[in-house]
């Protein structure tokens, strides 16, 4: 998945454990400028340094994966978490339109025209 927006916030690296670290950032996504959306992404591990090349206010393209996790709390209840895990960040090209969000419904496949399916055929089979 990808999205284009303005880089609003870059957070410092968080060392979650001795083997895992992450760095979050926020972009402003304005597909409808009247109601901009502020979306938080994260880089993990070695990709955390990717944000060092950018400054707030810069227009960027973010390529990311949508991740979801299930956790069962001590009371036995399932709790679900979503993460937008970025894997590439690039400057937005000037004048390029923002990538469109993928449609929830894929387009219907087109079928090739049937060949030899006319009533003048000598074939008497019904199929």
- Predicted structure pTM score: 0.68
Q: CA 23 to CA 52: how far, in whole Å? A: 11
List the one residue out of 53, 52, 39, 49 whose CA is nearest residue 2: 39
Name, in order, each residue with C-beta under 8 angstroms of 32's C-beta and a sequence gap of 6 or more.
none
Q: CA 26 to CA 24: how far, in whole Å? A: 7
Q: For the domain covering 2-91, report its CATH number.
A: 2.40.50.140
Q: Enumerate the domain spans of the chain.
A: 2-91
Number of other CB atoms surrounding residue 24 within 10 Å: 19
pLDDT per residue as tens digits for the range 51-91: 999 999 999 999 999 999 999 999 999 999 999 999 999 99
């Amino acid at each position: 998945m990808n999205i284009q927006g303005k880089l609003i916030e870059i957070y410092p690296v968080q060392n979650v454990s001795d083997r895992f670290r992450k760095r979050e950032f926020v972009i402003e996504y304005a597909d409808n400028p009247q109601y901009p959306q502020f979306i938080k992404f994260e880089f993990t591990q070695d990709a955390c340094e990717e944000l060092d090349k950018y400054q707030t206010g810069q227009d960027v393209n973010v390529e990311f994966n949508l991740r979801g996790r299930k956790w069962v709390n001590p009371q036995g209840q399932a709790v679900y978490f979503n993460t937008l895990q970025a894997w590439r960040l690039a400057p937005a090209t000037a004048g390029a339109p923002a990538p469109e969000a993928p449609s929830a419904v894929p387009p219907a496949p087109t079928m090739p025209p049937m060949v030899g399916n006319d009533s003048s055929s000598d074939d008497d089979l019904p199929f």
